[in-house]
Structure 1
Amino acid sequence: MKNKVLLSCLLMAGMMFTSSCEDQLKIDPTASLAPELVGPSDASKLLTGIYDALQEGGTNYIYLSYVTEDLSADNLVYRATFFQHGEVDNNAILTDNVLVSRYFSGPYVAIQRANDLIEILNTNASIAESVKKPMLGQAHFLRAYAYYKLVTLFGGVPIVDNRDVVKVKRNTEEEVYNKIIEDLKLSIDNAPSFTNNFFASAEAAKGLLARVYLIRKNFPLAKQYANEVITSNKFTVATDYNSIWAPPYKSSEHIFTLNFTTTEGSNSLSYFLQHASMPGGGRAELPVDQSLIDAYEPGDKRKEASVVQVATAPAGWYSYKHRDPNGTGGHPLYVLRISEMYLIAAEAQYLISNSATDAEALASINYIRTRRGLGELATLDLQKVIHERRVELAFEGTRWTDMKRTPSPTNPQKSLATVFLESKGRTANDALYPIPQSAINTNELLLPNNPGYN
């Protein structure tokens, strides 16, 4: 999907921002194209550059950020040689962890490019409204998603929405979520209706907004937007769960994915997740945690499509979702699916009604369960919904956030994440990743760091 023929000024801006972003958060407007000089075809290339940034982030290994929540949580474990993965798995991340530094800086490349395009589109009267509007919708969605990736890992981060050359303070977590919500609403107003999961759409904006409202505990709006995606009739829950992850990666389940071609060679997520004996090969860096294997109920079709047991060394269970039979890195990164919308609707309705037998909530979750080969639930509680999210959305980058926002059944005063951390000798402070030291070194306004990292 990526267009390698980007404007030279965009490449310059991206490179300058990428190198500086690992040191400090600032944008150099002199490396950007003057808005009045940009025509429709140039704007289209700039939009492609935002998608490109979310794929690569201007740096290596950013694709690993799409499963880092699974590694922080209880879906993946560390086995091999990238000790930085070991820190994430142990929930003991050092401020000089180079992978985490890239997870922090990478989204800002997309944000900077989105800022440039949004300013251009809003100030250039020569671009027709019919061209401008769908581009604005996509740019606002992509910027919102970049901030979403940051806030769920790091908490409060700087909001950068202009091209001024300044050091930037951190905003609060609430302010970042408010910015995400603002961008997603603008995306809904402007983005095109869904035609292809390779591109941002109004339905994708509603889907991410439903997830954000669920995290923020605005259950009526979470339910509303999830149901709007469901009733759009643009998507269907697959009866064959395996087909969702198989080439050509065009399931009716996908609302939005970040896509790679077989010639790009920049997505090596399958290489880190797969065993060498699996089609396409792999380095078996991140096998599956046994607790996830135990979470699958007998008869659950998702297990066979999600994980594979390997007997040859290093023996164990390995992820099968990010499969790449050709070993070329051509599989997508999965962002939003219709099944999650049913689970959001179920959870939100249950929390609104606080009834274990709420018919509407049960209908939503059972709609998913019966298509996965399981029987219907007769009663519902929050842990059952979170369990269903775990097995449905494994390796799709939602598990750690789910654990942080969900009370523990053994100690409702603490989250699932806090209880998990304390069982490993960690503290609640380790639920957030640290702001990287490389950024703090040249932008002291990023201090104080998250609690426990100062």
Structure 2
Amino acid sequence: MKALYYIIGVVLLSSTVSCNKYVDIENPKDQLVSSSVFVSDATATAAMVGVYSDMNAYNYQFANVLTTFMGAMSADEFAYAATFASFDEFKNNAISPDNTYVGILWSQPYDFIYRSNAIIKGVTASTTLSAATKNQLLGEAHFVRAFCHFYLTNMFGDVPLILTADVPSNSNLKRTPKADVYAAVIADLVEAKKLLINAYPGNQERTRPNKTAATLLLARAYLYTGNNGQAETEATEVINNADYSLLKNPDQTNAASMSKAFLKNSSEAVWQLQVVNTLGGRNTWEGNLMVPASTPYYRLTTGPNGLANAFEAGDRRYANWVGSYTNTATPPVTYYYPFKYKVRVGASGAAATEYSMVLRFAEAYLIRGEARIQQSKLSDGKDDLNVIRDRAGLTALSTPASIAVGMTMVEQERRVELFAEWGHRWFDLKRWKSVTGAGDKSRADDVLPLIKTNWKSTAALFPIPTEAMRTNPNMVQNPGYN
């Protein structure tokens, strides 16, 4: 793993994108020795915002396209229409450890973890930073470390838990049990909440994590680990924050229309990644790839169990967030694609109007609704789901008769609300227990065989990449990939 876990005794700053898109400071040098980075508020801040810049600088990276796209294809949301072996492996749930993209999904989060660890070390040791800057940067670094460990453990299961920037001691670490990784994620987010404030730092755009971002991710982590009471508490804190609201106007020309949820700094945005590479009029990488110029390459699954047919009649999410393209064949064929982002290519030289959405306010209602239903607070849980349904223009649900019935409602609302966002559907299917099979089966074992003929339970985890296996003698491969 030495080739994948790296930090070079300095805080690595991006030389390819401008950090001053996040904060108004001079662009940093390529590398600043650690003793210099943490002397001034400006250079220390540049170290942190350089992480966000690198998260979104290039195409098909962990933090913009890959987690969303590979999660969607691994689940039942959409697939790539052309033949491409590396993508087909995700669509067919038959991933090779040599797959380029599984390697990126492993290596890049660890890069950001190492850089966060270096920032935590440097900021903690500094005697010259202002108290406010120290708290903000420590909070952000703990948040990013938690965020990356969260996604690693959900994609790969047990993973090395990296809490220092000491490469020699980390390079041969064994895989840490998933429960311990989650404990560290939760501890980091609790610490981030203490350190961060509600206001967004820097230029006040919603592109650097604040207290609410840490709270929402903490609510999700509690939900995923079965601590439903705490998940409800944290989600309620997010919901009660007046800085956020659901865009619900059905008129797509209205500024409060749900069609505008993915605009930069929208009222639904809890954390976004700012555009840092706008060549050719691009806004987000997601929109640039999912919004087609003609025939779409990324097409929603169809058929009785496909996402294109999962929406109820009159659901505004379908009207606003699903695009269609009908070709000129005889007879014509209509293809459906994710259309949450509206901009494929904007006007040349125009400012970006959309940012990549990472955490969105609507998830707080879905977390609280599920957590309440799991605690047998069936009426309260139903009410949270109905907030989401009301925005979608749908009739209210009645109180479910049981937890099982309530969870069917939760699954439906999460599927059609969070599709094509950060692998939510993929993670949901894996974390929920099967309703039809043995106790060791997941909901993925119920659902995915309906559209995937070769589904196997072991495909719920991605393989450990070949490079990690080669360079770390203590690394053990996931079942099904030996």
Where 1:257 maps in the other structure, the secondary structure is: strand
Counterpart of 2:268 in structure 1 is 253
1:204 corresponding residue in structure 2: 213
Q: Distance in 1 between matches of 2:373 and 2:149?
A: 28
Q: How far apart in 2 are the matches of 1:24 and 1:396?
A: 26
- Structure 1 residues 255 and 44: CA distance shift in structure 2, 3 A: same
The 5 Å alignment of 1:417-432 reads 417-423=444-450, 424-432=453-461
Q: 2:480 is aligned with what amino acid?
A: G
Hey, what does 2:335 align to over in structure 1?
Answer: 316
Q: Are positions 1:389 and 2:414 aligned together? A: yes
What is the Cα deviation at residue 320 of structure 1? 0.5
2:4/2:111 contact within 8 Å kept? no
1:286 deviation in Å? 2.0
Among 25, 37, 44, the alignment partner of 2:5 is 25
| CA gap 1:364/1:267 in 2 versus in 1, 3 angstroms | closer
The one of 270, 273, 285 aligned to 1:268: 285
Name the counterpart of 2:370.
347
Alpha-carbon distance change, 147 to 406 in structure 1, aligned in 2, over 3 angstroms: same
- What corresponds to 1:65 in structure 2? 66
Aligned in 2, Cα 1:60/1:369: closer, same or farther, shift over 3 Å? Answer: closer
For residues 66 and 302 of structure 1, what CA distance do their matches in structure 2 show?
Answer: 22
Query: How many Å separate the matches in 2 of 1:445 and 1:55?
Result: 32
Give the distance between the partners of 2:176 and 2:127, measured in 1 at CA. 32
Letter in 2 for 1:310: Y
SS across alignment from 1:334: strand
| SS at 2:270 equivalent | strand
The code of the aligned residue for 1:193 comes to N
**Contact 2:6–2:114 (8 Å) recurs in 1:** no
> Given the superposition, is the C-alpha separation of residues 171 and 309 from structure 1 closer, same or farther in structure 2, using an over 3 Å criterion?
same
- Structure 2 residue corresponding to 1:335, chosen from 358, 362, 365: 358
Number of the residue aligned with 1:232: 241
**1:371 equivalent in structure 2:** 391
One-letter amino acid matched to 1:52: S
Mark the runs of 5 or more structure 1 residues left unpaired by the alignment.
1-19, 278-282
Q: Which TM-score applies when normalising by structure 1? A: 0.87
Question: Are residues 1:53 and 2:59 paired?
Answer: no
Superposed CA deviations along residues 206-257 of structure 1, whole A, max 9, x for unmatched, are 1001111111111001111000111122211111376455474332111111
Instruction: Give how far 1:157 is off.
Output: 1.4
CA contact (8 A) 2:77 2:300 kept: yes
Q: Does 2:187 match 1:182?
A: yes
Aligned counterpart, 2:161: 159
CA distance, structure 2, for counterparts of residue 402 and residue 231 of structure 1: 25
Q: Kindly, what percent of the aligned residue pairs are identical? A: 31
Cα distance in 1 between the residues matched to 2:447 and 2:462: 16
Letter of the structure 1 residue corresponding to residue 315 of structure 2? D
Which amino acid counterpart does residue 5 of structure 2 have in structure 1?
L
Change (3 A) 1:391 1:253: same
1:192 maps to 197
Q: Please tell me whether the aligned partners of residues 350 and 361 of structure 1 are also in contact (alpha carbons under 8 angstroms).
A: yes
The structure in which a higher percent of residues are helix is 1
Aligned mates of 2:354, 2:85 — CA distance in 1: 25
Deviation at 1:396, TM superposition (A): 0.8
Q: Deviation at 1:169? A: 2.4
Pair 143,223 (structure 1): closer, same or farther in 2 beyond 3 Å? same
The whole-number CA distance in structure 2 between the counterparts of 1:165 and 1:59 is: 28
CA deviations over 1:131-183 (Å, ceiling 9, x no partner): 21111111211221111221111112112222223223221111211111111
Shift of the 157–266 alpha-carbon distance from structure 1 to 2, 3 Å rule, reads: farther
SS in 1 for 2:358: strand
Match of 2:78 among 76, 79, 90: 76
Is 2:248–2:258's contact at 8 Å kept on the other side of the alignment?
no
Mapped partners of 1:275, 1:83: distance in 2: 21
Deviations 1:39-76 (A, max 9, x none): 211101101112123324x8854332231211111111
Quote how far apart the aligned CAs of 1:317 are.
0.6
Instruction: Report what 2:428 is aligned to.
Output: 402
Tell me: CA distance 1:34–1:175, structure 2 relative to 1, closer, same or farther (3 Å).
farther
Tell me what 1:293 maps to: 308
Distance in 1 (CA, whole Å) between partners of 2:467 and 2:160 is 15
User: CA–CA distance in 2 between the matches of 1:379 and 1:428?
Assistant: 33
- Count residues in correspondence: 424
Shift in Å, 1:261: 4.5
Structure 1 residue identity aligned to 2:296: A
- Structure-2 change in CA distance of 1:284 and 1:190 (3 Å): same
**CA offset at residue 422 of structure 1?**
4.5
Cα deviations by residue, 1:357-416 (Å, 9 ceiling, x for unpaired): x32112111111112100000133101111101101111121111111123343373322
CA distance in 2, matches of 1:256, 1:388: 21
Deviations 1:276-318 (A, max 9, x none): 23xxxxx733211121121100111000111112112784111
Q: Distance in 2 between matches of 1:271 and 1:311?
A: 20
Task: Structure 2: state its 5+ residue gaps.
Answer: 13-31, 401-405
The question of whether the paired residues in 1 share the 8 Å contact of 2:296 and 2:325 is answered with no
Q: Corresponding residue for 1:11?
A: none
TM-score of the superposition, structure 2-length normalised? 0.82
Residue 108 of structure 2 is matched in structure 1 by 106
Against the structure 1 CA distance between its residues 318 and 114, is the aligned structure 2 distance closer, same or farther, given a 3 Å change threshold?
Answer: same
Is the 1:307–1:321 contact (alpha carbons within 8 Å) kept by the matching residues of 2? yes
What letter is aligned with 1:80?
A
